[in-house]
Structure 1
Amino acid sequence: MNTKRKPKHFPSGYWLVASRSQRGVTVLLVVGFMGIFMLILGTITSFAMQQAKYGRALYDREQALHSAEAGLEYYRWFLAHNPNNLTNGTGLPGPYAYLVNDPEGGNLGSASISVSGATQCSQIQWIDITSVGKSNLNPSFPRTLFARYMRPSVGAYSYLLNSNVWAGADRNITGPYFSNGGIRMDGTNNSDVSSAVATWSCDSSFGCSPTQTKNGVWGAGTGSALWSYPIASIDFAAIAANFTTLKGYAQNNGGRFFDTPSGSTSQRGYHIIFKSDGTFDVYRVTSTTATASYSSQYGWTSAEYSIIATQVFVGNYSIPSSCSLVYIQDRVWVEGVVSGKVTVIAADTVHSGVVPDAYLSGNITYATNDGNAGLTVIAEGSVLIPLNSPDTMEIHGIFVAQSGHYGRNFYTSNSAYSPYTVPSAYNSYVLRTQLTTNGSVVSNARTGTSWSSGGATISGYQSRVDAYDELQATAPPPFTPSASTDYRFVIWREQ
């Protein structure tokens, strides 16, 4: 008799072959996979939510930036209608609230505006504006913008000229180079070179024989990709210093004023030696040594009185921090180490026909090179480097020849130029080695610190390196002339 139990038959037609333990494993696997799936789903969902949150934060930050920028633009508009008003018209200290509205979307955010002015001799030099913007949707992500509002300074240029000019092959120029006249550029330029004229007449004094019509900028220089012409001219009359006004500031607003000394015009003046402790020594020049010279502006003269023969000590003076202006109503010789920012004026508003020059008689450097020191020299006439200048000379500053020219005139010991030779004691000074200028040159007439013949330098500096001082471009010494009559943001950055 067969006693085997037949397997139970299910109506579905399938035989159950899994044990209970196998069924448990299957359940666990299903639960495990569901857990993993839920974990992955949760991770993806969390990531998506975080990305959405991050996206909203980015949007809020952008809205905050736009609000901060709107605050700057608002105050620029306000200053255009209310010059030098630092209180938003309230007469009260800031910050000042400004709501940013969209005509279609309502309020977008707000800006908190703080305003301060840099003042010298009770006159505002520039205005700093800080705007903190916040989004109306989420103010937790503020953005802060800073801007400086002023007329652009001539310190933004390496050279700013009002006449034709020839930059020789020995020149290495860093910083914008501009002339209202034509430019022959044979040197190396690392920045823009721009002329206000499309063409000009190049004669023998610029190396063209016979006279030729040349492009606004031309020459053998390698930086022609940075040459441009014609561009808008710069009105030298509009940016000229007002010496009567500056004299009043020096006399009445806390500056230093030195009146015309006794003696003949050619024998007198003041000698200023800056010191690293923030003071300067003043000497009264009592006699000078004459030498013959030639300049492109005035031609030959048998008596250029630029060498100090005798002088008398006047005193040591501090540079007034609230009015860092030194006004010399006569000629001035300048050298030394400048600490702090100061402007020296050589002008005469009293004696008719007297147009003083400024002489860079020695090295001029800064006590620090972090932008806290700076010098501007403005001459009613010319800014000149005299015959007895250092062989290797370094000058830092912004040098402005308002009606004359900047440069080192032509000197010679060659008897072929008789009677226009220098005193024999100064023969060795005719030819100098290197001139390094860190700053800006502004000249009404043609400049020149090197003179050549037949391709060789025969007078002046054989090598010249020029670089503008970017730190002085946006924070120049007081009353440094502007390159434009229009105000603008010369600094714009996020803090």
Structure 2
Amino acid sequence: MVKFINTFLNKLLRHAARGALLIHLIVFGSIGIVIIGGLVQWSIGQNRLARQRSLREMAFEIAEAGVDYYRWHLAHAPNDFQDGTGSTGPYVHIFNNRAGEQIGTFTLTITPPPTGSTMVIVESSGVTLESPHAERVIRARFAIPSLAKFAIAANADMRFGEGTEVFGPTHSNGGIRFDGLAHNLITSARTSYDDPDHSGANEFGVHTHDAPTDPLPPAAAPNRTDIFMAGRQFPVPAVDFTGIINDLADIKTQAQASNGYYSSSGALGYHVTLQSNDTYILKRVNSLQSPPQWCTNQLGQSGWGTWSIGTGGSAQTTLGTHPFPSANVLFFEDHLWIDGQISSARLTIASGKFPENPSTNTSITINNDIIYSAYDGSAVLGLIAQNNINVGLSSENDIRIDAALVAKNGRIGRYYYWTTCGSSYIRSQITLWGMLATNQRYGFAYTDGTGYQTRNITYDASLLYAPPPSFPLTSDQYTLLSWEEVK
């Protein structure tokens, strides 16, 4: 009996072992199938994702090709903002591979420049035929460079003395002596030059006399980061000042077409006071302040005078208050005195007489603040004088000028006034926010300590993308200002 029971139990255990093994095989086999299936699905997903990424990258390259195409188009047709069609966009282009097979399209949306500007916005959307919903969009801005890309641009030898601090790129077609502090690049079109402020051998195109004085060429220019914080370069290509005469004529034509033109005042010129509500008060200037006794033109400067409006009741005649013209351009065939404030306008004011003659060239004088209500690029003012841009004898002790200034034939600065000219011969501080372009040597102070003691010049970076309307250009070709992916 015992033997029978043992035999039965052994058989039962053997069958149980076989069943357990089968269960294990089923369980682990199922797990293996799930893992293998997951790996297959993962591999398929990775391949699909890689393909999607490849198609998105291809769509990006197609969109980029659209930007490159329109840059080429602008180089050949700089005034065409309708893709050669004569009609409004968007404009769809087929994109082929090297074999000539279509693989996608790019669609261009073109925003032409506003009146007086050259900035074109091109938005290019690229897609592939295989994945038309995987869209990539690039937005690029193109513009023809203007003088407003510099904080200071000059066509003569320049000297920046101690007490001058410049924030922004500075260039001269002549040489530059810089003894102040430059926060941006200083460039000159000259390799070397004879500094007119002293005798001796030629010096570097950009040099300093702030101790220790730079060595003379052909020695290497030292790295003076205490003066040139962003460095100095020379020689570099010159800036064209001769074309500004055409720009003045164009501004006159635009002003005549938009009720912004004024002929000769019949007196000494006009006084324009800008107002923050996009209007200006216009007055005729009848008389100027006479120099104090013994205040004379000691340096024999051409056009010397007080350049300050008289204080009597008959010194000016009010002509009215007017809105800024639709083209945002004012042109006066006479001398101008300008002050005031603008809030959100983009305005260019120019002064000149044609045909040009040195004896009749007109100037702009600023004796009181010109300020922006905000410094976010919403307000931009350009002042272009056929001759000089002056700061007169009776100017504010602490004056601020927010504007892009251009003196086509003359200089931006202040005449020389000696101690015999009263307390105004010496002034405290001048702050310039914007840029300066001067044909002759600029200056608001003299080496004997007269003039403005502190001179702060800060470049308005918004001018790089959007200079004042119809501002003088330095090229006839568009350049890329900015590039960004927006989708």
Question: What TM-score do the two structures reach when normalised by structure 1?
Answer: 0.84
- Which sits farther off after the overlay, 49-58 or 21-30? 21-30
Q: 1:165 aligns with which of 148, 153, 158?
A: 158
What secondary structure, in the 3-state scheme, does the structure 1 residue paired with 2:446 have?
A: strand
State how far apart, in whole Å, the 1-side matches of 2:122 and 2:296 are: 50
Structure 1 position 151, deviation (Å): 1.2
State how far apart, in whole Å, the 2-side matches of 1:262 and 1:182 are: 41
State how far apart, in whole Å, the 2-side matches of 1:96 and 1:3 are: 99
Cα distance, 1:258–1:68 mapped onto 2, change above 3 Å: same
State how far apart, in whole Å, the 1-side matches of 2:316 and 2:38 are: 86
Structure 1 position 229, deviation (Å): 0.9
Cα distance, 1:404–1:390 mapped onto 2, change above 3 Å: same
2:200 equivalent to 1:211: yes
| Residue in structure 2 matched with residue 148 of structure 1 by the alignment | 141
State how far apart, in whole Å, the 1-side matches of 2:471 and 2:303 are: 34
State how far apart, in whole Å, the 2-side matches of 1:466 and 1:32 are: 81
State how far apart, in whole Å, the 2-side matches of 1:320 and 1:449 are: 32
Aligned residues: 460
| Residue in structure 2 matched with residue 448 of structure 1 by the alignment | 443
What secondary structure, in the 3-state scheme, does the structure 1 residue paired with 2:367 have?
A: strand
Gaps of 5+ in 2: 211-225
What secondary structure, in the 3-state scheme, does the structure 2 residue paired with 1:448 have?
A: coil
What secondary structure, in the 3-state scheme, does the structure 2 residue paired with 1:237 have?
A: coil
Structure 1 position 231, deviation (Å): 1.2
Structure 1 position 270, deviation (Å): 0.8
Letter paired with 2:63: A
Deviations 1:271-302 (A, max 9, x none): 1111111111111111002445779xx84369
2:465 equivalent to 1:460: no
Letter paired with 2:462: L
Cα distance, 1:335–1:302 mapped onto 2, change above 3 Å: closer
- Which sits farther off after the overlay, 234-243 or 363-372? 234-243
State how far apart, in whole Å, the 1-side matches of 2:33 and 2:252 are: 83
Q: 2:89 aligns with which of 78, 94, 99?
A: 94
State how far apart, in whole Å, the 1-side matches of 2:444 and 2:239 are: 23
2:463 equivalent to 1:472: yes
Residues 193 and 227, structure 1, Cα contact 8 Å, conserved in 2 = yes
Residues 112 and 131, structure 1, Cα contact 8 Å, conserved in 2 = yes
2:346 equivalent to 1:366: no
State how far apart, in whole Å, the 2-side matches of 1:430 and 1:143 are: 62
Deviations 1:6-55 (A, max 9, x none): 9779xxxxx98967666665555555545555555455444444433333
State how far apart, in whole Å, the 1-side matches of 2:372 and 2:296 are: 31
What secondary structure, in the 3-state scheme, does the structure 2 residue paired with 1:118 have?
A: coil
Q: 2:262 aligns with which of 258, 278, 283?
A: 258
1:33-182 map, 5 Å: 33-104=28-99, 106-120=101-115, 125-182=118-175
State how far apart, in whole Å, the 2-side matches of 1:294 and 1:66 are: 66
Structure 1 position 158, deviation (Å): 0.6
Cα distance, 1:301–1:156 mapped onto 2, change above 3 Å: closer
Letter paired with 1:491: S
Question: What TM-score do the two structures reach when normalised by structure 2?
Answer: 0.86
Cα distance, 1:37–1:412 mapped onto 2, change above 3 Å: farther
Residues 433 and 460, structure 2, Cα contact 8 Å, conserved in 1 = yes
State how far apart, in whole Å, the 2-side matches of 1:125 and 1:166 are: 32
State how far apart, in whole Å, the 1-side matches of 2:163 and 2:12 are: 100
Equivalent pairs: percent with the same residue? 27
| Residue in structure 2 matched with residue 320 of structure 1 by the alignment | 325
Letter paired with 1:367: S
Q: 1:384 aligns with which of 384, 390, 400?
A: 390
State how far apart, in whole Å, the 2-side matches of 1:371 and 1:67 are: 33
| Residue in structure 1 matched with residue 289 of structure 2 by the alignment | 289
2:484 equivalent to 1:493: yes
CA RMSD of superposed structures (Å): 2.8
| Residue in structure 1 matched with residue 402 of structure 2 by the alignment | 396
